[in-house]
């Protein structure tokens, strides 16, 4: 993996991240800063992100209105080799319409703008339980988004379907502590079964980026996330 990382660095590629303020986005950015596979990282978000770390302060930030990506912000997505979508919310936090808007509409708009902008590799964080035919809103919307992003025709599309993400979340979601307590025995006995540390997800995204995997759509499940996360 060290050789792959060194070879990738020599290509002087650039990337953007949407959703860098969320837990997954933060973990990904931390790994990218540490491993430095890219010569240029740009954060695209709805507001400026404040950092204390000097290296993070130097990153270029582009502020956009996600409702107007097609009409106004296409140029903000041009000139990147790789795009990372770490957008996410919950129905409890954003309501039904807000959940659909962020998880589907915004994510798809970002992917389309990335494709038009010339990106060859697009990364999308999804979920293990996706099912476009499900009666559950979360599973159905995630499944629809996965399919529509897959159909855009990137040279490579990496869709991550992690289990329960283990993280010290700054903003605790309802019932999250209960869930952690419930799955802890299973996690101890079967580490790759239903959960994954968020740091492993971030490492897996970097490992996939620098890998020599063939062109096409790659669905990366929880077990594979563990494997890739351990490879860095």
pLDDT at 167 over 90: no
* Active-site option among 51, 112, 120, 138: 138
User: pTM for the full model?
Assistant: 0.91
Convert the pLDDT of each residue in 21-32 to its tens digit: 999 999 999 999
- Do residues 176 and 157 lie in contact, with contact meaning Cβ atoms separated by under 8 Å? no
CB atoms within 10 A of CB 119: 25
Q: Is residue 106 annotated as part of the catalytic site, yes or no?
A: no
> What's the rounded Cα separation, in Å, for the pair 138 and 128?
11
Mean pLDDT of 219-231: 96
Q: Which residues contact 51 (CB under 8 A, 6 or more apart)?
A: 57, 59
Convert the pLDDT of each residue in 117-145 to its tens digit: 999 999 999 999 899 999 999 999 999 99
* Active-site option among 26, 142, 160, 203: 142
Strand 40-45's sheet: what is its strand order? 60-63, 40-45, 14-18, 82-85, 121-125, 156-161, 216-221
Min mean pLDDT across 35-39, 151-155, 178-182 is at 178-182
Indicate the helix (H) or strand (E) that contains 132: none
Give the end-to-end CA distance of the chain in Å, rounded to a whole number. 7
pLDDT at 170 over 60: no
Which domains does the chain show, CATH number per domain? Answer: 2-231 (3.40.50.720)
pLDDT at 147 over 70: yes
pLDDT at 187 over 90: no
Please tell me the predicted confidence (pLDDT) of residue 180: 56
Please, is 80 exposed, middle or buried when counting C-beta atoms within 10 Å of its C-beta (0-12, 13-18, 19+)? buried
Query: In 41-136, where does DSSP find H-type helix?
Result: 54-57, 69-72, 91-100, 107-116
Q: 123 is written with which tokens? A: 């990364």
> What's the rounded Cα separation, in Å, for the pair 164 and 150?
23
Q: How many residues does the chain have?
A: 232
Q: Is residue 51 annotated as part of the catalytic site, yes or no?
A: no
């Amino acid at each position: 993996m060290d050789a792959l990382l060194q070879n990738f660095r020599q290509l002087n590629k650039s990337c953007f991240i949407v959703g860098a303020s969320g837990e997954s986005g933060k973990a990904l950015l931390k790994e990218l800063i540490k491993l430095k596979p890219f010569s240029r990282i740009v954060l695209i978000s709805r507001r400026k992100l404040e950092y204390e770390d000097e290296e993070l302060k130097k990153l270029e930030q582009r502020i956009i209105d996600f409702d107007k990506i097609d009409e106004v912000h296409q140029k903000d997505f041009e000139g990147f080799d790789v795009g990372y979508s770490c957008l996410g919310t919950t129905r409890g936090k954003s309501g039904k319409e807000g959940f659909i808007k962020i998880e589907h509409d915004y994510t798809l708009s970002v992917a389309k703008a990335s494709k038009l902008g010339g990106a060859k590799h697009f990364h999308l964080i999804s979920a293990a339980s996706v099912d476009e035919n499900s009666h559950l809103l979360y599973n159905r919307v995630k499944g629809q988004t996965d399919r529509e992003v897959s159909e855009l025709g990137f040279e490579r599309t990496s869709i991550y379907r992690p289990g329960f993400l283990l993280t010290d979340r700054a903003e605790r979601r309802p019932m999250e502590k209960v869930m952690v307590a419930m799955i802890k025995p299973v996690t101890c006995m079967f580490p790759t079964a239903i959960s994954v540390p968020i740091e492993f997800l971030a490492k897996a995204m970097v490992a996939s980026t620098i890998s020599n995997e063939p062109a096409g759509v790659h669905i990366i499940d929880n077990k594979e996330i563990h494997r890739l996360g351990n490879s860095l």
